[in-house]
Amino acid sequence: MARGIPPLRPGHELQLLEGSREFFPALVSAIDASRSEVLLETYIFDFTGSATEVAYALERAARRGVAVRVVVDGFGTPELPPACVARWDLAGVQWAVFSRPGFFGLLMPGQWRRLHRKLCVVDGEVGFCGGINILDDFHDPNHGELASPRFDFSLRVGGPLVAEMRATMHRQWSRIEAIGQLRKARLAGALGFVRAVANERRGHVTPPTHSDPNARAALLLRDNLRNRAVIERAYLRAIGRARSEIVIANAYFVPGGRLRRALVKAAKRGVQVKLLLQGRYEYFMQYYAARPVFGVLLAAGVQIHEYAPSFLHAKVAVVDGRWATVGSSNLDPLSLLLAREANVVVDDARFAAHLRERLAYAMQHEGKRMEASEYERRPPLQRGKEWLARMIMRIALIVQGKTYR
């Protein structure tokens, strides 16, 4: 294990799922087959369109006696619809909100440390990890109906990593419950709850799922304690070892100096570096703050393709046709310095080829390649917006006590 990056372990069955149209049916099927426990964490839980099928599946599971726990982020999901909450409460779905923003919202230190990971574990046997929120592909909370589906991926996992996913979700639930009780000045009850959950975890042993021993994988969990840089380090190591090709699809791509230099060095030593990035305006800061870094990348020979049909929300990569990652972490300071994220890293040629094929198709048929000459001719107004977006991002990081290098 190098610099805190967990080793890849064999024995995993992996299935790539594209968009909610593939992810939701697989998720609902697993929940409907659950016997004892369903754990789900998501940044956004939007009760619109096909996302309601997931909500109903959770309700059905709770009604037949399955322990169902749902955690949503307090900024990504500021409110749950009262009618849905009433149904969940009646069915016995346990749900909690991670870090509700206070009166001053994201202006307060610590409030950008969001729960951004998207995880689900069913019966300790099947896990899901990726970038897809519980949000219909054709719906956006800010932009309304979409003409084309959002571009994103999740991963269905069977094998040893599922136990790790379950353990981290139980820890997160116990923290939320304990903090809630502490705020109500019930310190003794909170400590008792933490001890009870710890005992429950120690007493539960989940047998690993037997699967293809050639599918090696590792779970990377970024937090603000011991694992602050694990996802960035995994990217840096894969990029540094690349010999032929690096393909990255990332929604909010604002790499720091280390990642930029790694990509430039790879391109200069002859590696084909291809980026598939957000081509449609979604959020001002993330859209414009990314653009100032494009110049140095284009000058080094990095290919930049902007996804055109809809919003690109993917956070995936393939290196040398074998190393791959699927997860929730963007390559920007909000993900790499502040948010709780979860990525799965895979070493498997068949899986990597499948993901690479989809990204290659998107770059060729659904994206527009950026030309260096066109980039240099962008108008002064756009350059001004880029400067403003970068300043907003820097100020936000300063408020949170962070610097991005």
Rounded distance between C-alpha atoms, residue 136 and residue 7, angstroms: 34
How confident is the model over 1-34, as pLDDT tens digits?
455 789 999 999 999 999 999 999 999 999 999 9
Domain stops at, among 176, 203, 230: 203
Residue indicated by tokens 């990642």: 259
> Does residue 214 form part of some domain?
no
Amino acid making up residue 3: R
**Active-site residue flag, 347:** no
Residues of the chain with pLDDT under 50: 1, 182-211
**Cross-strand pairs, 98:** 73
| Domain shared by 257 and 366, yes or no | yes
Contact 291, 386 (CB under 8 A): yes
**Active-site residue flag, 116:** yes
Rounded distance between C-alpha atoms, residue 229 and residue 351, angstroms: 25
Enumerate residues 6+ apart whose C-beta is below 8 A from 238: 246, 317, 319, 323, 325
pLDDT at 170: 95
pLDDT at 183: 46
pLDDT at 111: 67
How many separate domains does the chain show? Answer: 2
| Domain shared by 181 and 239, yes or no | no
Classify residue 74 by its DSSP letter: T
| Domain shared by 248 and 391, yes or no | yes
Residues present in the chain in total: 405
| Domain shared by 372 and 305, yes or no | yes
**Active-site residue flag, 268:** no
pLDDT at 103: 56
Residue 41 belongs to domain spanning = 13-203
| Domain shared by 247 and 392, yes or no | yes
pLDDT at 137: 96
Closest CA to 362 of 289, 324, 313: 313
pLDDT at 50: 96
pLDDT at 40: 98
From the list 12, 118, 170, 274, the catalytic residue is 118
| Domain shared by 172 and 260, yes or no | no
pLDDT at 225: 82
Angle between helices 161-183 and 187-203 (to 10 degrees): 170
**Active-site residue flag, 315:** yes
From the list 315, 332, 348, 402, the catalytic residue is 315
pLDDT at 125: 97
From the list 116, 139, 274, 305, the catalytic residue is 116
For the entire predicted model, the pTM comes to 0.89
| Domain shared by 255 and 134, yes or no | no
From the list 12, 274, 305, 313, the catalytic residue is 313
**Active-site residue flag, 274:** no
From the list 46, 136, 320, 332, the catalytic residue is 320
pLDDT at 395: 87
CATH classification at residue 25? 3.30.870.10
pLDDT at 206: 37
Rounded distance between C-alpha atoms, residue 332 and residue 241, angstroms: 22
Element (H, E) at 43: none
State the CB neighbour count (10 A cutoff) for residue 377.
8
From the list 46, 73, 123, 136, the catalytic residue is 123
CB burial of residue 183 (10 Å; 0-12, 13-18, 19+): exposed
| Domain shared by 128 and 55, yes or no | yes
| 105-109 long-range contacts, CB within 8 A, separation 24+ | 106/75, 106/396, 107/399, 108/399, 109/399, 109/400, 109/401
Domain stops at, among 173, 203, 233: 203
